[in-house]
C-alpha cells in the first residue's frame, strides 16, 4: 500500500506534507505534488498535514479520484524530489 496525492492539490502545491515525509517520497509535478509509490513507506504522516485534504491511502482514494493512483506512479518517475521550498501556487 502507498499514499496518493489527488486533484485537490492541483494549482496549490502546499509543502506541509513534504516537511513531514521521512523518506522524500514527494515529487514535483508542474502544478501539484505526487507521491512516488516506490519510496512511500505508508506511514501516513502526510495525511493530516495537507490543508486541502488531497492525500489518501491508495485503498481509500474516492472513486472519482482513482485515476490519480496511476498518475502518481507515472509522474513520479521523471519528477524531481520535492524539497519543501517551492512556492505555494494559490491560497484558498
Nine-digit cell string for 1: 500500500
Sole residue written with cell 518517475? 77
Domain membership flag for residue 90: no
Helices (H) and strands (E) in the chain, counts: 2, 5
For the stretch 23-80, pLDDT in tens is 999 999 989 999 999 999 999 999 999 999 999 999 999 999 999 999 999 999 999 9
- Domain membership of residue 34 (yes or no) is yes
Residue 86, in any domain of the structure:
no
Question: Has residue 21 been placed in a domain?
Answer: yes
Residue 82 DSSP code: P
**What does R_g of the chain's alpha carbons equal in angstroms?**
11
**Number of separate domains in the chain:** 1
Domain that holds residue 75: 3-81
43-to-20, 26, 73, 81 alpha-carbon distances in Å: 10, 13, 18, 18
Domain CATH for 11: 3.30.70.20
Q: Tell me, yes or no, whether 87 lies in a domain.
A: no
Within a domain: residue 91? Answer: no
Helix intervals (H) in the chain: 16-20, 67-76
pLDDT at 84: 78
Amino acid at each position: 500500500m502507498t499514499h496518493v496525492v489527488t486533484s485537490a492539490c492541483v494549482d496549490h502545491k502546499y509543502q506541509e506534507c513534504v516537511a513531514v515525509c521521512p523518506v522524500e517520497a514527494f515529487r514535483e509535478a508542474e502544478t501539484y505534488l505526487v507521491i512516488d509509490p516506490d519510496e512511500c513507506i505508508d506511514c501516513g504522516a502526510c495525511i493530516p498535514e495537507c490543508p486541502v485534504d488531497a492525500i489518501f491511502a491508495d485503498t481509500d482514494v474516492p472513486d472519482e479520484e482513482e485515476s490519480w493512483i496511476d498518475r502518481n506512479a507515472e509522474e513520479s518517475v521523471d519528477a524531481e524530489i520535492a524539497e519543501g521550498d517551492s512556492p505555494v501556487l494559490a491560497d484558498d
